């Protein structure tokens, strides 16, 4: 596997106190890895730490074999690790097009190229981001991230507050993007069954520690194993 993101022994948390300990994760080009787990498990903390938004308290992270030494979030994103946060962080009073143009101010993917992934957005370019539907906002947030031609896309609960049919189409779209563009995706999701349908592998985090990892097919085939891992039981 062509490893894009390699994270070893990551400790992450707040004010010097680790809430995630000794976390390992590797993701290859075009691969989708679902990061699952109950509320408060530390999933967002992992993403924030990988993106450089909170300091790393321990461990090593490398991107395409190059060590990342923490550093500012803008440096990390310029090196190719881009986070779509759970609040989507759009400029709600600017139009969709203006949001995309802002993301492109330092160059990157052509806006027309991004729109090939989200044809529904074409009709909505003149609409203020705050007036878009939740699904459209999420497409815009992912589109804005893709403009930067990320090597790794970190997605935090893109389905928050969305109807199940919208979630399904977003996740399937994301699967296609990963396969076609080769971007490595870390997908934090509460929709476990759907995530396992589109992911290649999954990792379950509970109370800051990994309690299960495997291929998405293995985990989908054994709901009891998955349930136990959510309750914090270590496996294997």
Ligand X SMILES: Nc1ncnc2c1ncn2[C@@H]1O[C@H](COP(=O)(O)OP(=O)(O)OP(=O)(O)O)[C@@H](O)[C@H]1O
Q: Which residues in this chain contact ligand X in the complex, by CB under 6 A?
A: 14, 19, 37, 39-45
Structure tokens at 37: 């787990």
Distance CA 91, CA 45 (A): 23
Q: Which is nearer to ligand X, 37 or 52 (CB)?
A: 37
Q: Return the number of the residue (48 or 178) whose C-beta is nearest ligand X.
A: 48
111 C-beta neighbours (distance < 10 Å), count: 17
CB of 54 to Mg ion, least distance (A): 13
Residue 54 CB, nearest approach to ligand X (Å): 8
**Residue 227, phi-psi category: left (phi > 0), alpha (psi -120 to 50), beta (remainder):** alpha
Q: Which does 210 bind (CB under 5 to 8 A by kind): ligand X, Mg ion, none?
A: none
CB of 206 to Mg ion, least distance (A): 13
Helix, strand and coil content of the chain, in percent to the nearest 5, comes to: 40, 30, 35
214 binds, among ligand X, Mg ion, none (CB under 5 to 8 A by kind): none
Among residues 121 and 189, whose Cβ is nearest to ligand X?
189
* Distance in angstroms (rounded) separating the CA atoms of residues 77 and 44: 17
Partnered with residue 8 across adjacent β-strands are: 60
Q: Say which entry of ligand X, Mg ion, none residue 163 contacts (CB below 5 to 8 A, set by partner kind).
A: none
């Amino acid at each position: 596997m062509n490893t894009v993101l390699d994270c070893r022994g990551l400790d992450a948390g707040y004010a010097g106190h680790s809430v995630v300990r000794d976390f390992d994760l590797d993701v290859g080009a075009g691969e989708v890895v679902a990061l699952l787990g109950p509320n408060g498990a530390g999933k967002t903390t992992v993403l924030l730490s990988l993106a450089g938004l909170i300091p790393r308290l321990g461990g090593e992270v490398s991107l395409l074999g190059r060590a990342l030494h923490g550093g500012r979030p803008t440096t990390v994103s310029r090196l190719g690790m881009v986070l779509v946060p759970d609040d989507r962080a759009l400029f709600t009073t600017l139009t969709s097009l203006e949001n995309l143009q802002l993301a492109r101010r330092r160059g990157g993917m052509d806006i027309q190229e991004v729109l090939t992934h989200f044809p529904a957005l074409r009709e909505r370019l003149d609409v203020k981001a705050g007036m878009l539907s939740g699904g459209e906002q999420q497409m815009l947030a992912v589109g804005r991230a893709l403009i930067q031609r990320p090597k790794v896309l970190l997605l935090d609960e893109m389905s928050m507050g969305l109807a199940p049919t919208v979630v399904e189409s977003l996740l399937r779209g994301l699967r296609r993007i990963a396969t076609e563009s080769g971007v490595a995706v870390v997908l934090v999701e509460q929709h476990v069954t759907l995530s396992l349908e589109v992911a290649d592998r999954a990792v379950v985090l509970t109370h800051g520690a990994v309690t299960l990892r495997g291929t998405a097919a293995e985990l989908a085939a054994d709901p009891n194993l998955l349930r136990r891992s959510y309750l914090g039981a270590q496996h294997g």
